[in-house]
Amino acid sequence: MSDDPIDRTLNAVGPRLKQLRLRRDVTLAELSELTGISVSTLSRLEAGLRRPTLEQLLPLARAYGATLDELVDAPPTGDPRIHMRPIASGDGATILPLTRRAGGIQAYKFIRPAGDDNAQPELRTHEGFDWLYVLNGTLRVVLGEHDMLLQAGEAAEFDTRTPHWFGATSAGPVEYLSLIGKQGERAHIRVGPKPN
């Protein structure tokens, strides 16, 4: 057995792939359809008879909703910091992705500059669910016929097939968190009893 950490990591991929597939109750044939990888290749990968290539790992990671690091159980880098790369949007907002996991619910922090209270919002619709939590400022949220103002500490959850729009008011910028999930996924909020 090799002492090389890369060899050890690659040799452990097969059992991890099989464990992921069995945990998700997916057959080799179903996984083959999802990934475009033949059943025989998938079987050899799981048995450790073949080393995975990047071209095989990418569709498998997508199918399992996992990162490549999770898929191969890569050794930790020793640096727990997340280096967020802000994204500038066309409407002046800055978006910070807070999650790096493929698939599932994605988390973002939005920072929007002061808005124009007289501007007519353009409502949009798409598949999925959105959950908002205001950190600072006031967020104007238009959901169908409802037009409301959310203050710091307030949250909203809605089906994104409802026509919607949100932005800052003229009172100043707003910062909020957004959890966005594909169709059918929702953020589940657990609420305990109120203290007496």
- DSSP assignment of 47-84 equals HTSSPPPHHHHHHHHHHHT--HHHHHTPPP-S------
* C-alpha dihedral, 182 to 185 to 187 to 189, nearest 10°: 170
The yes-or-no verdict on residue 141 having pLDDT over 60 is: yes
Q: What angle do CA 72, 102, 162 make, to 5 degrees?
A: 165
Please tell me the distance from the alpha carbon of residue 14 to that of residue 159, in angstroms, as a whole number: 39
Chain centre to alpha carbon of residue 145: 29
Mean pLDDT of the chain: 81
pTM score, whole prediction: 0.53
